[in-house]
Structure 1
C-alpha cells in the first residue's frame, strides 16, 4: 500500500515527524536570529494603514511562510536519492509536502479571518448603536481588505483539490502495477480482482482524506490554541466550576475527549462487521463473474446462499449503526451548545462585545473541531480499517523484497511484447439502463 508509492515508508514517515519536530524547535529557539539573516519581510510585507492596521502580509508572517516553505521542500531533497523509489518522487514526496503547505496556508488565513471578523462585527455593533459613527467608506474598505485575501484562498483550494485528485490516481496506479507485477502470488487470493480494482482506489482516497484532515487539525491547534487561551481571559467564570485560566481550552478538550471515548466504545464492533461485509460482497461478485463464462454457475439456487450471507451481514451492520448514530448525532448536536453554556455567565453579565463573542465562538469551534478529529472521522476510520485489513492480508502473499512493479510507461514494459488472449466476437457494448 505504501511502499509502492513512497520511498521506504518505514523510514520516510518517522523521518518526516522528526524533521517537523526539529523545525518547530528551531523556530521557537533561533527563528528570530534566522529571520534577521534570511527574511524577505522587508521586501514583501504590507505597510499598516489607518484603514488596515493589521494587513495580512506583515513582516513576521512573511518570514513564517518563508520558513515553512523552506523547511518543507528542504526535506524533499535527500529522498530523490534515498529510498529506492524514485519513480514516484515528485508525486509522493514533493506532492505530499505541497499539500501540507497549502493546508498550512489555509489555516493561517483562517486565523487572520477570525481576527478580522472580531473587528468587523465590533464595527457593525458601533454602527448600529451609534448611527452615523461609521461611514460607508469604512465598511467598504474592510470588505475590500477581506476580498483580496479570500480570492487567493479560493484559487489555492480549487487548485489543491485538482492536484489531490491526480495525486490519488497516481497512488492507485502505483499500487495497481505493484500488485499486477506480483500477480502470480496473488491470483489465488479470495477477491484478488476486487482488491486491485476497488480497494486500491478506496484506500488511497480514504488515507489521503484522513491525512489532510489530521494535518489540518494539528495545524489548527497550533494556531488557534494560543489564541483561544488568550481570548479565554475574557470569560469570567464557568457554570458550576468558577474561574479557570484558559477556561475554554479545557472545555473544548473535555468535550472532544468525552465524545471520542463515547463513540469509540459504542462503535467498537463496526470495523469487524465492515471487513466481513467486504468478504461476503466479494464472494457474491465472484460467483456472478463465474456465471458470465460458465452456464452452471450463478444460477438462482446457487446465488441464493451468497446473497443471504450479504443480506445477513448488512442487517447486522444496520442494527449496529443504528445505536452508533444515536450516540453520534446526540453528541455532535449537543456539542454545538457547549460554548454557549460555557460563556453564558459572561454573556449575562454583559462583559463581551458582539465582535469579541464572534471571535471567541469561532476560535472555540476551530479548537473543538480539531480535538474532535477522531469523533468526526470515526465512520471513515471504520471504512479505512476494513480496507486496510483486506489489503494487508492480500500483501501477506508478497515478499517484502518483491519488485515495486512495472508501470505501463516504464521502458521495461514498452520493450516487452504482451500476448493478449483471443476474443470471441466483438466486445460487449454497455447497455442503457
Structure 2
C-alpha cells in the first residue's frame, strides 16, 4: 500500500513533490485563519462600541462596512488591517485548488497500488478471497480516505503550531479561581478534554472496526455471486441463495447501525458541550472588564481551532474505523500475494 507509492522511483515525484505542494497550500490556509482570528477582535470590538456612534452614524456605518468589504488594505500597499473580504476570498480560492489537487493526489496513489497489485495477482494460481474487490474497491476507498484524513492531519498539526501560542497568551485573561493560576490553562484544558473525549470514544466504539470488517466479508460474498451470475444465471443466480446472503448483510448492518447509534449519541453530546466550554471559562471576564467582546470571540475561535486539532481523531472516528477495516483487508491481500505469487518476468509499463 505505502511501498508502491512512496518507495518507487516511478511515483517519487508525485508522492513527495505533490505532498510538499499540499503542505505549502495548507500552511497558507492556516496563516489566513490566523489573520481572520485577528480580524474577529477588531470587528466585534467595533460592534460592542456601536452605541458610541449614535451621534455620528455615518462614520460608524462606513467603518463597519470597511471592516467587512473594504479595499483600503490593498490601496495602502498592504498596510493596516485587511477586511474580511480581502482575507476570505483568497482563502476560498486556495481551498478549492487544494481540495482539487488532493483528489488528484489520492487518484495517483490508487493508480500506484493498482499497478502494483495487478501483475502480482495475475501470477497467482490459488484463489484469493475477494481479490477483485481488494484491487478495485478497497484500493479506491483506501486512497480516498487517506487523501481526506491525511489532509486533515497535516492541517491540524499546522493549526496547532499557529494557534497554540495565541491561546497560550489568552490564558492570562482567565478570571476563574485555580484555573487562572495555571500558565497556559486554555491550552491544557483543550488538550485534557480532547484526550478524555478520545479515550471515551475508543471505549464506546471499540466494536466498530470488527463489525465493519465482517460487514465487508458478507458484502463480498453477495457481490461475488452476482458477478458470477452475469455469465451463468442458472447456476449462480439462485433466488434462495441470494436472499440468504442478503439476509446476512441485513443482520450485519442492523448490528453495525445499533453500535453507531450510541456512538453518535456520545459524539453529539460531546460536541455540543465543547461549544460552550470557552464561554464557561472566559465569560466572567466580560463582566469584570478583563476582556472585551472582540477578545472573547477571538479566544472562542482559537480554542475551537486548538481543540479541533487535538480532537481530530475523535471527530473522524467512524472514518478511521472504516480505514482500519480496509487496511486489514488489503494487508491480508498483500500477505496472500506474497504467499502465492510467482516471479514476474515482464510486467506491463504504467501509463
Normalised to the residue count of structure 1, the TM-score between the two structures is 0.72
Residue 305 of structure 2 corresponds to residue 305 of structure 1: no
- For 2:130 and 2:43, the matched residues in 1 are separated by 58
Evaluate the alpha carbon distance shift between residue 218 and residue 187 of structure 1 in structure 2; reply closer, same or farther with a 3 A threshold. farther
In the alignment, is residue 121 of structure 1 matched against residue 44 of structure 2?
yes
Q: Tell me the SS of whatever aligns to 1:293.
A: coil
1:25-44 equivalent positions in 2, closer than 5 A: none
Question: 2:222 matched to 1:284?
Answer: yes
Q: Give the total of aligned pairs.
A: 331
Provide the residue aligned with 1:109 in structure 2: 32
Q: In structure 2, which of residues 64, 67, 77 is the aligned counterpart of residue 142 of structure 1? A: 67
Q: Separation in 2 of the partners of 1:282 and 1:360?
A: 49
> Is 1:321 matched with 2:260?
yes
Which protein has greater RCO, CA pairs closer than 8 Å, 6+ apart?
A: 2
Query: Distance between the aligned counterparts of 2:150 and 2:19, measured in 1?
Result: 10
Provide, for residues 350-383 of structure 1, a one-character-per-residue CA deviation record: whole Å limited to 9, x for no partner.
4221111111111111111111111101011000
Equivalent of 1:93, from 1, 8, 16?
16
Separation in 1, partners of 2:16, 2:138:
23
1:367 corresponding residue in structure 2: 306
Structure (1/2) with the larger helix percentage: 2
Superposed displacement of residue 306, structure 1:
1.5
C-alpha distance after superposition, 1:30-72 (max 9, x if no partner):
xxxxxxxxxxxxxxxxxxxxxxxxxxxxxxxxxxxxxxxxxxx
Whether the 8 Å CA contact 2:174–2:180 is kept in 1: the answer is no
Contact 2:35 2:87 in 1 (8 A): no
Which of 196, 208, 224 is residue 147 of structure 2 equivalent to?
208
Which of 249-258 and 212-221 deviates more? 249-258
State how far apart, in whole Å, the 2-side matches of 1:165 and 1:187 are. Answer: 35
Aligned CA distance change for structure 1 residues 177 and 237 (closer, same or farther; 3 Å): same
Corresponding residue for 1:3? 3
Maintained 8 Å contact 1:179/1:196? yes
Task: Give distance in 2, aligned partners of 1:316 and 1:343.
Answer: 43
Distance 2:44 2:268 in 1: 31
Partner of 1:406: 348
1:194 aligned to 2:136? no
Between the aligned partners of 2:112 and 2:125, the Cα distance in structure 1 is 16
Query: For residue 41 of structure 1, what is the aligned residue in structure 2?
Result: none
Cα 1:148–1:242 shift into 2, 3 Å:
closer
Alignment check: 8 A CA contact 2:171 2:180 kept? no
Q: Which runs of 5+ in 2 are unaligned?
A: 71-81
In structure 2, C-alpha distance between the alignment counterparts of 1:137 and 1:267, rounded to whole Å: 53
Q: 2:196 aligns with which of 232, 241, 258?
A: 258
Aligned to 1:166: 104
Shift of 1:347: 2.9
Q: 1:149 to 1:345 in 2, by over 3 A?
A: closer
Q: CA 1:405 to 1:122, structure 2 compared with 1: closer, same or farther past 3 Å?
A: farther
* Aligned-partner Cα distance in 2 for 1:186–1:130: 83
CA RMSD of aligned residues (A): 2.2
The counterpart of 2:320, out of the listed 381, 391, 415, is 381
Greater shift, 178-187 or 370-379, is seen at 178-187
Q: Which segment drifts farther, 263-272 or 342-351?
A: 342-351
1:228–1:363 contact (8 Å) kept in structure 2 = yes
Q: String of CA shifts for 1:72-103, please: whole Å, max 9, x gaps.
A: xxxxxxxxxxxxx2222221110011111111
CA distance in 2, matches of 1:187, 1:213: 40
Query: Which of residues 269, 277, 295 is equivalent to 1:356?
Result: 295
Equivalent of residue 272 in structure 2, options 314, 324, 333: 333
1:186–1:192 CA contact under 8 A, matched in 2: no
Q: How far 1:140 moved relative to its partner?
A: 4.3
| Structure 2 CA distance for aligned equivalents of residues 325 and 187 of structure 1 | 42
Unaligned 5+ segments in structure 1 are: 8-84, 410-433
d(CA) in 1 for partners of 2:244 and 2:191?
49
Q: CA separation in 2, counterparts of 1:345 and 1:149?
A: 31
Separation (CA, whole Å) in 1 of partners of 2:161 and 2:137: 36
Is residue 151 from structure 1 mapped to residue 89 from structure 2 by the alignment? yes
* Inter-CA distance 230–242: structure 2 relative to 1 (3 Å threshold): closer
Work out whether residues 106 and 146 of structure 2, in 8 Å CA contact, stay in contact via their aligned partners in 1: no
In structure 2, the residue corresponding to 1:189 is in which secondary structure?
coil
Displacement, 1:148?
2.8
Could you tell me which of 239, 252, 269 is aligned with 2:207?
269
